[in-house]
Amino acid sequence: MKMAVVSIREKIEKGLYHSKIEYPVPRKFRGKCPGCDTRYYPPESDSVKFCSNCGQSLRELLDRQIEDRKAQRILYFEDRKRLEEEFKKDLFTDLNLVGHPKAELLYAKAYQLGQSSGYTEIYNYMIELEDLIR
């Protein structure tokens, strides 16, 4: 069996450091009335809503969806954190910085400079800055 060595750049290009978990955006917030199956697209709101068709309270439905979204958001951020750790691990391995006492410091700087443009820029900054700690 052949070992597949995938470079960091390839992994970035293939989106392998990006979470597959969807961020729960408010516009996904919707549901069916538990009483009569009327479809609702309620706004995220703390005010109690009632079904205009059968009068059933939609409170529980809204609460459940708010809870689901909270849980989904936690999963999303945990997954992102996991993937960033994987990226960092790959990066340190790639640049031969595993165990280097200043690797984390360098990463923090590269992250600060590059994160708004994504992983490629963080990688580029790491390469640019690594001489500073050699």
Binding site for Zn ion (CB under 5 A): 33, 35-36, 38, 51, 53-54, 56
- Which ranges of 1-134 would DSSP assign to H, the alpha helix? 8-13, 59-94, 103-114, 119-129
Comparing CB distances to Zn ion, the nearer of 49 and 100 is 49
Nearer to Zn ion by C-beta: 36 or 74? Answer: 36
Give min distance, CB of 37 to Zn ion, in A.
Answer: 7
The least CB distance from residue 63 to Zn ion, in Å, is 17
Q: Is 50 helix (H, G, I), strand (E, B) or coil?
A: strand
| Other Cβ atoms closer than 10 A to 112 | 11
User: Which residue from 57, 65, 59, 80 is spatially nearest to 24, judged by alpha carbons?
Assistant: 65
Distance in Å, CB of 36 to Zn ion, minimum = 3
Q: Given the complex with Zn ion, which of 24 and 31 has the nearer CB atom?
A: 31
